[in-house]
Amino acid sequence: MSHDDPAFAAQRALSGHIRDPLQADGPNGIEDRRLKIYRELFFNNVEGMLAGNFPVIVRTLGEDRWQALVRDFYREHPSHTPLFTELAREFLRYLETRAEQDRGDAPWLQELAHYEWVELALQISEARASDVPHDPEGDLLTQAPVLSPLAWPLAYEWPVHRIGPGLVPTQPPGTPTLLLVQRGADGSVRFSELSPLTFRLLQRIEAEPALSGRAQLQALAVEAGAPEHEAFIAMGHAMLEQLRNDGALLGSRA
What is the tens place of the pLDDT at every residue in 125-143?
A: 999 999 999 999 999 999 9
Query: How many structural domains compose the chain?
Result: 1
How high is the pLDDT of residue 28?
56
Domain assignment present for 157: no
Domain assignment present for 8: yes
CA distance linking residue 202 with residue 246, whole number of Å: 13
Domain assignment present for 89: yes
CA distance linking residue 250 with residue 53, whole number of Å: 29
Kindly state the DSSP code that residue 151 receives in the 8-state scheme: E
Amino acid at position 47, single letter: E
Query: In the beta sheet, which residues pair with residue 164?
Result: 167
Q: Which residue has the higher pLDDT, 4 or 150?
A: 150
Domain assignment present for 85: yes
Domain assignment present for 21: yes
Band (185; pLDDT cuts 50, 70, 90): confident
pTM for the whole structure: 0.84
Full residue range of the structural domain in which residue 37 is found: 1-105
Whether the pLDDT of residue 198 is over 90: the answer is yes
The pLDDT tens digits of the residues spanning 25-57 come to 555 555 556 656 666 777 888 899 999 999 999
